[in-house]
Amino acid sequence: MTAAEDTGDAFGSREPFTVGVEEELFLVDPVTGRQANSVEAVQERLEAVQGTVEPELHACQVELITEVCRSAGEAVDMLHGLRRAVLATGAGLLGSGTHPSAGEGEAEITDKARYERIHELLGDAVATPVGGLHIHIGMPDPDTAIRAFNGLRRHLPLLQALAANSPFRHGRNTGLASAREVTVRGWPRSGVPRAMRDFADFREATRLLTRAADVPDYTWFWWKLRPHPRLGTVEVRALDAQASLEDASGLVALTHCLARHAAEAEPQPDPPAEVLEEGIFRAARFGVDARLPDAEGRLRPVGELLEEALAVARGHATELDCADELDRLPALLAEGGGAGRQCSAYAIAGMDNLLRSVTQLTGAGRAADAAT
């Protein structure tokens, strides 16, 4: 999904409530899973594929970008094709919020003006690469986009808990389900933005912040959630990258449905910022085992909150063609999510086993493909 060149917005330029996905994956040795600064070589060897493979801030990563899709299943099928295209170059891929074993400073910065400027502005805050799963939902107009944006804020802790997939960083167990979250907290403009009164409020906030931060535009805001006028979407950026395409499909489907619901639901009081922030950290610390605060500060299990979210999401599952993908989420919860899977692999046979297992899972197809 490439940003439009004009300075206007693209809301309503496509069919509303479509979905597009971007995932940032680590390039690794296909056998050992060790990090490799090989993006230039991979790009030289890529063949034509549906979607886009882009370099990322660090030379040890690629960003896989789908076209605009009608459903989560269609988007994840396209991610599968993009992964296969990268694997065909001889590279390995590892889906995780952080690379489990790579040392700080081992990742090179990609030779691109934007990335060099980011490095100049942020310094060693970007010494450790992070991998995210970004989900765009098309919006019919700016007002609907702001309603969806405001409504999605309350769901960020749940989505982040379900997606937590980075317990290891620099070769050690951090005690966190998402070390990516703690790493990104060192970046400016990386938290949860405040609720916006309307689109004009977003425009004014953007004008002031771009000036204060000395950056060109809002694409330099690494918020967990943001309106994206040039693409005509609302973008959820809070989730760790996933190794399992099955996990990714459930997370994309849930996000898609919650955005669809928020776009037209009666607005609810915004969660207090301090309570939302506490929920974000608890999601990163405990993942699917977290107890997260609701809007009144009461701590509730992720499983209970997921049941409520699924009840809302299933009301849109037929329209968005994602019932099967939503049905994947209870299994993700039972399996401990990506973080639980990584910890289990490490407990069995240490870091080498963890790297191999996550690399193999990232390179595998969807379960439906394996069954045919």
From the first residue on, what is the mean pLDDT of each consecutive set of 10 residues in the chain (372 residues)? 52 94 98 97 94 95 98 98 97 98 93 90 91 98 97 97 98 98 93 95 96 94 96 98 98 98 91 93 98 92 97 98 98 97 98 98 72 35
With CA atoms as reference, report the closest residue to 79 among 96, 91, 90, 95: 95
Q: How many CB atoms lie within 10 A of CB 369?
A: 11
pLDDT by residue (tens digit) across 115-161?
999 998 889 888 999 999 999 999 999 999 999 999 999 999 999 99
Concatenating the DSSP letter of every residue in 341-362 gives HHHHHHHHHHHHHHHHHHHHHH
Ordered by start, the domain boundaries in the chain are 19-364
Nearby residues of 297 by Cβ (< 8 Å), 6 or more positions away: 275
Provide the pLDDT for residue 86: 98
pTM of the model: 0.95
Q: Strands 61-65, 132-138: parallel, antiparallel or unpaired by DSSP?
A: unpaired
User: How large a percentage of the chain has pLDDT more than 70?
Assistant: 96
Q: Are 181 and 280 in contact (CB under 8 A)?
A: yes
Q: Give the class (CATH, top level) of 19-364.
A: alpha beta
Which residue's structure tokens are 């034509």?
48
